């Protein structure tokens, strides 16, 4: 049972269907066989009785005249043409009124004048002994494995002259039965040859969706959910419902996984932010002191040329450090001025030449028709950073689209480009400082953008994959004020 239980439904269902077909065919064949046997027997006995009546009538004059040869010719005639094989199975014997054999179609086995009881078996007694019986009788001689049909030979005045006994060996049915049974079995086999492949095919077809579902479930975690969902059977039946439900679970799972990734990324960015801010403050304090000291040394000391050049070198280095640190340390200056549609037009005016130099199309779609309560400078910086990145990514002759809209609750930007997609390994660390592989970039553009969005309590999302990459920013209105 265990091994059978472990079999795939791909095998089990066709196997079960085939088994049902085979069993049904076998039952059908058996029922037909039994019917054939019963029919053969009934026909045989009916024929025997009818033959017996005919013979009894024909034998009456021969018996009256004691014409043995006439009697013999009469009973041999129906058997003419039978093969030697058949003749052993069927014999016709005339028994006289005294219970002795008068004539037999098989004189060797049933010699003339021998007692019928001795030759034909005890059963014959029941058939021929009772003198008053005028109707045919059928007796099965189980010992001799024969069926005896006896028809009395009666003179016109009703005197019983004897009986015709037609004896069939039990296996006389066998050839008749076998011939027909062979035909039934043959037809059944032909039907099976046709039906079993249909059953097999049908079974596989039925099991297919289940097997597909099981396969998809087994590969959860190995393949992307969208790919898993592709091969599923879609219908209203139970397996179809399972498939639909499974697909929903895959979608939910994917959402959950994305959310987890986002949380991890956000946590990491927050940690990096804190680290960066802390480090920047720690650096900025001594840095300011050092720069002041160099300035003082320049103004009040009289350094020799070598010292002067050294001081200059050190100052440039420190200035670079300050520059980098201040870039890392994003501190949005929240001035009171709200963002106006004019600000956005300025951004467009500023960036259009940049796009033009790369022969790009800049689709600008702004639905802002009023001032919104967002600090204009950082908001513009977000927009500029993202559009510049997009222009960078779109490459020569590409297309960059910018869509801006605002409602009561929030303002959103969607910046798209049709350039190369962002590699998956980069996506994880996209907003981290110095993660960008872009040539010529500082590696801080997205970091700064992220920091500003964070400070404005907004969200930023990236979706990248052929044919385009999209950055979507949503900023709540009035939250930062």
Partner 1 sequence: MNDEHPLRLSRRRFCAAALGLAAVVPRVAFAASDAHIRIGTTSVILDNQVGFLHAWRDYLQPRLGRPVTFLQRGSYREVTSMLLGDELDFAWVCGYPYVRNRAAWELVALPNYGGKPLYRSYLIVPVTDISAKGFDVLAGKVFAYSDPDSNSGFLVPQFEMLRTGIYPPTHFRKTFFTYAHHKVVAAVADGVAQGGAVDGYVWETLALRSPELTRRTRVAHVSDEYGFPPMVARRSLDRATYVLFRDTLLSMPGDARGRELLKQLNLDGFLPPDDTQFAGIARVLDFVASRERLPT
Nearer to partner 1 among residue 87 and residue 279 (C-beta): 87
One residue of 14, 17, 72, 343 binding partner 1 per CB under 8 A: 72
Q: Quick one: which segment of 69-77, 383-391, 453-461, 472-480 binds partner 1 (CB under 8 A)?
A: 69-77
CB atoms closer than 10 angstroms to residue 381: 18
Residue whose CB is less far from partner 1, 39 or 73: 73
Which residue from 107, 144, 240, 441 is in contact with partner 1, where contact means CB under 8 A? 107
Nearer residue to partner 1 within complex by CB, 164 or 388: 164
Strand order in the sheet with 459-465: 361-366, 399-406, 410-417, 468-476, 459-465
19 binds partner 1 (CB under 8 A): no
Query: Alpha helix (H) ranges present in 104-237?
Result: 116-120, 123-128, 173-218, 225-230
The one among 103, 148, 232, 374 contacting partner 1 by CB under 8 A: 103
End-to-end CA gap in the chain: 73
Which CB atom, from 72 or from 246, has the smaller least distance to partner 1? 72
In whole angstroms, the minimum distance from the beta carbon of 93 to partner 1 comes to 12
Using CA atoms, how far apart are residues 65 and 153, in angstroms rounded to an integer?
14
Told to check if 161 binds partner 1 by CB under 8 A, we report no
Which of the stretches 108-116, 210-218, 225-233, 416-424 binds partner 1 when contact is defined by CB under 8 A? Answer: 108-116
Instruction: State phi, psi for 336 to the nearest 5 degrees.
Output: -75, -15
Q: How far apart are CA 123 and CA 404, in angstroms?
A: 113
Interaction of residue 67 with partner 1, rule CB under 8 A = yes
Answer left, alpha or beta for residue 164, where phi above 0 means left and psi between -120 and 50 means alpha.
beta
Q: Which of 39, 43, 66, 227 binds partner 1 (CB under 8 A)?
A: 66
The span of 65-73, 83-91, 220-228, 443-451 binding partner 1 (CB under 8 A) equals 65-73
CA atoms of 474 and 414, how far apart (whole Å): 9
What is the C-alpha to C-alpha distance for residues 181 and 179, in angstroms, rounded to an integer?
6
Shortest Å distance, C-beta 111 to partner 1: 8
Smallest separation (angstroms) from partner 1 to the CB of 190: 43
Q: Quick one: which segment of 30-38, 110-118, 259-267, 346-354 binds partner 1 (CB under 8 A)? A: 110-118
Q: Where does this chain touch partner 1 (CB under 8 A) — which range of 40-48, 111-119, 243-251, 389-397?
A: 111-119
Contacts 24+ apart (CB under 8 A), 120-123: 120/93, 120/95, 120/144, 120/148, 120/165, 120/167, 121/146, 121/148, 123/148
Q: By CB under 8 A, tell whether 76 contacts partner 1.
A: yes
Long-range CB pairs of 251-254, under 8 A, 24+ apart, other chains included: 251/225, 253/220, 253/225, 254/225
Candidate list 108, 193, 306, 424; residue touching partner 1; CB under 8 A: 108
Site for partner 1 contains 68 (CB under 8 A): yes
Q: Which of 3, 6, 69, 80 binds partner 1 (CB under 8 A)?
A: 69
Assign residue 273 a region (left: φ > 0; alpha: ψ between -120 and 50; beta: otherwise): alpha
113 contacts partner 1 (rule: CB under 8 A): yes
Residue 405 zone, left/alpha/beta (φ > 0; ψ -120 to 50; rest): beta
- In this chain, which stretch among 107-115, 135-143, 280-288, 376-384 interacts with partner 1, using CB under 8 A? 107-115
Question: How many chain residues are in contact with partner 1, going by CB under 8 A?
Answer: 13
d(CA 110, CA 59): 18
By beta-carbon proximity to partner 1, the closer residue of 87 and 342 is 87
Please answer whether residues 233 and 243 qualify as being in contact, where contact means their C-beta atoms are separated by less than 8 angstroms: yes
Verify binding: residue 315, partner 1, rule CB under 8 A: no
Whole-angstrom distance, CA of residue 341 vs CA of residue 387: 17
Site residues (CB under 8 A) for partner 1? 66-69, 72-73, 76, 103, 107-108, 111-113
């Amino acid at each position: 049972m265990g091994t059978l239980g472990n079999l795939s439904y791909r095998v089990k269902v066709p196997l079960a269907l085939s088994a049902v077909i085979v069993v049904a065919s076998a039952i059908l064949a058996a029922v037909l066989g039994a019917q054939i046997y019963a029919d053969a027997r009934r026909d045989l006995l009916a024929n025997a009785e009818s033959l017996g009546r005919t013979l009894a009538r024909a034998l009456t004059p021969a018996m009256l005249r004691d014409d043995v040869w006439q009697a013999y010719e009469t009973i041999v005639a129906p058997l003419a043409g039978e093969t030697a094989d058949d003749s052993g199975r069927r014999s016709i014997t005339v028994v006289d009124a005294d219970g002795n054999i008068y004539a037999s179609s098989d004189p060797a086995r049933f010699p003339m004048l021998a007692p019928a009881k001795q030759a034909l078996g005890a059963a014959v007694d029941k058939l021929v002994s009772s003198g008053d019986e005028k109707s045919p009788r059928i007796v099965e001689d189980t010992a001799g494995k024969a069926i005896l049909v006896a028809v009395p030979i009666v003179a016109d005045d009703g005197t019983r002259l004897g009986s015709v006994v037609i004896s069939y060996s039990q296996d006389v049915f066998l050839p008749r039965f076998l011939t027909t049974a062979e035909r039934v079995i043959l037809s059944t086999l032909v039907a099976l040859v046709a039906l079993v492949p249909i059953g097999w095919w049908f079974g596989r077809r039925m099991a297919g969706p289940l097997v597909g579902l099981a396969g998809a479930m087994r590969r959860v975690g190995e393949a992307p959910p969208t790919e898993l969902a592709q091969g599923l059977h879609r219908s209203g039946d139970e397996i179809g419902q399972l498939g639909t439900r499974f697909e929903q679970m895959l979608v939910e799972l994917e959402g959950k996984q994305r959310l987890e990734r986002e949380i991890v990324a956000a946590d990491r960015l927050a940690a990096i932010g804190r680290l960066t801010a802390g480090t920047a403050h720690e650096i900025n304090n001594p840095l300011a002191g050092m720069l002041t000291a160099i300035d003082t040394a320049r103004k009040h000391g009289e350094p020799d040329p070598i010292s002067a050049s050294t001081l200059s070198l050190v100052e440039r280095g420190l200035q670079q450090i300050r520059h980098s640190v201040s870039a890392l340390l994003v501190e949005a200056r929240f001035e009171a001025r709200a963002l106006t549609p004019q600000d956005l037009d300025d951004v467009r005016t500023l960036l259009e030449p940049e796009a033009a130099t790369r022969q790009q199309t800049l689709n600008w779609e702004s639905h802002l028709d009023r001032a919104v309560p967002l600090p204009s400078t950082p908001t513009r910086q977000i927009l500029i950073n993202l559009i510049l990145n997009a222009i960078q990514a779109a490459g020569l002759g590409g297309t960059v689209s910018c869509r801006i809209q605002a409602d009561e609750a929030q303002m959103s930007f969607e910046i798209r480009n049709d350039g190369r997609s962002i590699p998956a390994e980069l996506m994880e660390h996209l907003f981290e400082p110095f993660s960008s592989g872009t040539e010529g970039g500082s590696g801080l553009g997205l970091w700064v953008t992220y920091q500003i969005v964070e400070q404005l309590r907004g969200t930023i999302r990236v979706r990248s994959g052929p044919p385009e990459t999209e950055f979507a920013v949503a900023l709540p209105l009035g939250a930062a004020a």
